[in-house]
Amino acid sequence: MADTKPFLVEIGSEELPPKNLKHLAESLHRNLLAQLASNSLYPANPSEGQTFFSPRRLAIYLPKILVKQEDRAEERLGPAVSAAFDAAGRPTKAAEGFAKSCGVTVSQLTPRHTEKGERLAYTLRLKGKTAAELLPQIVSESLAKLPIQKRMRWGTGQAEFVRPVHWMVLMLGDRAIKADILGVKTGNQTYGHRFHHPAAITLKHPADYAKLLEKTGKVLVEDRHGRLVKKISAYVNHAAKQVHGRAQLDQGLLEEVAALVEWPVPITGSFDKKFLALPDEVIVAVLETQQRYFPLRDTKGKLLSYFIAISNIQSRKPTVVRSGNERVITPRLTDAEFFWESDRKTTLASRIPELDRVVFQKQLGSYADKARRTAKLAAVIAERIGSDPHLAERAAQLAKCDLVTGMVGEFPELQGIMGGYYARHDGEPDEISAAIAEHYRPSFAGDALPETKTGQALAIADKLDTIVGTFAMGQKPTGDKDPFGLRRAALGLMRILVERQLDSDLTVLIQKSLAQQPAKPPSHEPLVMEIYEFLLERLRVYYLENGVRADVFEAVRAKQPHNPLDFHRRVQAVNIFLTIPEALCLASANKRIANILRQAGGKTGRTVDAEMLREPAERTLYENIRRLQRDIQPLVAAGDYINTLKKLAALRTPVDEFFDKVLVMEPDSALRENRLALLSLLSALFLQTADLAMLQTD
């Protein structure tokens, strides 16, 4: 067994950005493992180790790494033997040069047979290097490869990191490894909480790290399992109970707050009740976004005039911290109140001209242009989904007007929501204010969809206009680049159509949107299909996430339904079909038929001649097909694919019988053609729903 020892590295820094902290720590962990592996220091039976982070430190603990590389042999090939000695048998310059490069004399070289003939060779014995020698380089490389968006310099130094680095712990077993990294000398001393324990703490062993920091240093480091987040949410919940409230815990906010403290202490504060007259979303935005406080609600979900802040100090006078936090919130809420009052003095409708000055996309014009396009499209969609086109048009004209209000200027995340409030205040119909409020939905995974029909029409139109416009200006998403968030918009759009069961031909809508775009693509038709395929691709991801099999999706996609709802019905039908006993046989049969037809050179142009059906099995099959053709026609027309497939399940026995008793590839060409025609007919029957031949049958 090779020797291993525990390893610890800690980078002590000025306060690191909270939002990137976890990602940074995890990347460092990954980089270290990769570097250790490429330096042959990663043991055969490794254990993953731990990632720790706090605002002032990133640390990785690995329970075992190899203390030394294995010794190894490396064979070097030199010149061809024929070129290594002259006529007198004396070594040539080439031979001597090679020997010198290996640190030996020519007499120590041996000949070796290779594909390129006989060559001089020498086997170098390389002693493995120790981890202690290699670690400084390994750590430096791992740090250099961190995904840091903006590196900075400080003082007169050349070192670059996220923030100025002040200390670094580098330990192998109980020993500190001395090196110079990022302008600091490494050792075995860490530091505790900035104020509670500013003095150095000497580490005796890497495994002590987290515990020692907590006990002595008053630092709770976060780990990969989010132990600090859990602790903080327990603190917040407990504090909330004290004032008979329930905390509203946003996971993203919890993580950010956890990355801002080393010693979390909850503080419960309150604000003037008069601010509760402001819209809930505004108060929450002030508390969460501006102050990183947790809002509280009562049992009925009504906001309370309390908040919980997480401080980073076990204060000697907690009331000072509390009153300080309370003092900040008043001007913030006063400001929000100022916007709320002043914004409502101007109607949304009278702000429409202002939208001309707000650029949406350089090539796609202003928000006024976008609103005009969206209004036309929303009206068309409303008509198709059975709602009032005039309402949809009006909602679209007003939907972007809140972008020029003071409140949305201050809180961009309230776009739409404020528009809804202001529209209601202006006396717009409820359907319109609701539509404006919900037209950005769904704005994240799992977000609710628009409830009103007008909201749905508007949301679809708004998203489609963005997608089509961006494609038209040649900026479709590629790889991981999607600067305009088109994938999210596409997924949202498809979710609305499918989950709200809206009947509409997407390609027609794409065409209508494209015709309105100022950016003129070279050709329309291929672009319509490209956009349509892009939307279908999002639908595929959506289905996969919801447990629909990829082959089921492909079987339906083969039919190219242009209406997502129709697409959805087919997917559901195939899913249900797969649960009935006949499904697998019929899917196999379809596969077999597809193969036979392909081998026979595609569709026969012929129709079936009933007179030529000799075998009882083929006659029975033909009769069944004729009957089912009549039966399923109305079902297909009504989009009832479930019952279509259920009816077709009746074909299992006749199809089995047919393949058992009848030889399709008959030598007699007339009979053969007729049977192929029969199979085409059969296949066409199933194809009305989906290409079942594409289903997995094993």
Partner 1 sequence: MSLRNPATFQSLILSLQHYWVRQGCVLLQPLDMPVGAGTFHPATFLRAIGPEPWSAAYVQPCRRPTDGRYGENPNRLQHYYQFQVMIKPSPDNFQDLYLDSLKALGMDPLVNDIRFVEDNWESPTLGAWGLGWEVWLNGMEVSQFTYFQQAGGLECRPVCGEITYGLERIAMHLQNVDSVFDLVWSDGPLGRVNYGDVFHQNEVEQSHYNFEAADIQSLFGWFDTCERLCQRLLENNLPLPAYEQVLQASHTFNLLDARRALSVTERQRFILRVRTLARGVAEAYLKSREALGFPLLPTRKPKKKRVHG
Positions touching partner 1 (CB under 8 A) are 14-19, 55, 150, 152-156, 163-164, 166, 194-196, 260-261, 267, 291, 293, 309, 311-313, 315-317, 320-321, 323-325, 327-331, 334-335, 338, 356-359, 362
Shortest distance, position 362 Cβ to partner 1, whole Å: 8
Shortest distance, position 314 Cβ to partner 1, whole Å: 8
Is the CB of 110 or the CB of 156 nearer to partner 1? 156
Q: Is the peptide bond between 17 and the residue preceding it cis, with omega within 30 degrees of 0?
A: no
Tell how strand 184-187 and strand 165-172 pair up: parallel
Judged by DSSP in three states, 694 sits in helix
Helix (H) or strand (E) holding 4: strand 4-13
Q: Is 328 exposed, middle or buried (0-12, 13-18, 19+ CB in 10 A)?
A: middle
Shortest distance, position 340 Cβ to partner 1, whole Å: 13
Shortest distance, position 317 Cβ to partner 1, whole Å: 5
Is the CB of 89 or the CB of 155 nearer to partner 1? 155
Is the CB of 197 or the CB of 672 nearer to partner 1? 197
* Residue 190 contacts residue 10 (beta carbons within 8 Å): yes
Is the CB of 24 or the CB of 685 nearer to partner 1? 24
Please state the length of the chain. Answer: 698
* Residue 464 contacts residue 397 (beta carbons within 8 Å): no
Shortest distance, position 79 Cβ to partner 1, whole Å: 47
Joined together, the tokens standing for residue 546 give 């919801």
Is the CB of 153 or the CB of 225 nearer to partner 1? 153
What counts of helices (H) and strands (E) characterise the chain? 25, 19
Q: How far apart are CA 455 and CA 579, in angstroms?
A: 36
Q: Which residues does residue 175 pair with via DSSP β-bridges, in sequence order? A: 172
Shortest distance, position 156 Cβ to partner 1, whole Å: 4
Shortest distance, position 166 Cβ to partner 1, whole Å: 8
Is the CB of 262 or the CB of 691 nearer to partner 1? 262
Shortest distance, position 529 Cβ to partner 1, whole Å: 34
Joined together, the tokens standing for residue 27 give 């990347």
Is the CB of 323 or the CB of 595 nearer to partner 1? 323
Is the CB of 222 or the CB of 582 nearer to partner 1? 222
Q: How far apart are CA 280 and CA 409, in angstroms?
A: 18
Is the CB of 332 or the CB of 439 nearer to partner 1? 332
Tell me how far CA of residue 408 lies from CA of 286, 398, 417, 680, in angstroms.
12, 14, 9, 61
Is the CB of 6 or the CB of 365 nearer to partner 1? 365
Joined together, the tokens standing for residue 175 give 């020993």
* Residue 398 contacts residue 349 (beta carbons within 8 Å): yes
Burial code (b: 16+ CB inside 10 Å, e: under 16) for 156-177 equals eeebbbbebbebbbbbbbeebb
Helix boundaries (H) for 8-115: 21-38, 81-84, 93-102
Q: Which residues does residue 305 pair with via DSSP β-bridges, in sequence order? A: none
Is the CB of 405 or the CB of 674 nearer to partner 1? 405
Judged by DSSP in three states, 559 sits in coil
- Taking each helix axis from N to C end, the angle separating 616-637 and 652-661, rounded to the nearest 10 degrees, works out to 150
Shortest distance, position 294 Cβ to partner 1, whole Å: 13
* Residue 675 contacts residue 683 (beta carbons within 8 Å): no
Judged by DSSP in three states, 87 sits in coil
Is the CB of 120 or the CB of 355 nearer to partner 1? 355
Shortest distance, position 348 Cβ to partner 1, whole Å: 17
Shortest distance, position 13 Cβ to partner 1, whole Å: 11
Is the CB of 18 or the CB of 43 nearer to partner 1? 18
Is the CB of 337 or the CB of 426 nearer to partner 1? 337
Shortest distance, position 695 Cβ to partner 1, whole Å: 52
The radius of gyration of the chain's CA atoms, rounded to the nearest angstrom, is 36
Shortest distance, position 266 Cβ to partner 1, whole Å: 12
Judged by DSSP in three states, 336 sits in helix
Shortest distance, position 417 Cβ to partner 1, whole Å: 22
Judged by DSSP in three states, 580 sits in coil
Shortest distance, position 315 Cβ to partner 1, whole Å: 5
Tell me how far CA of residue 53 lies from CA of 58, 264, 675, in angstroms.
5, 14, 72
The dihedral formed by the CA atoms of 571, 575, 577 and 583, expressed in degrees to the nearest 10: 110
Q: How far apart are CA 270 and CA 250, in angstroms?
A: 19
Is the CB of 255 or the CB of 673 nearer to partner 1? 255
* Residue 465 contacts residue 377 (beta carbons within 8 Å): yes
Joined together, the tokens standing for residue 587 give 């899917």
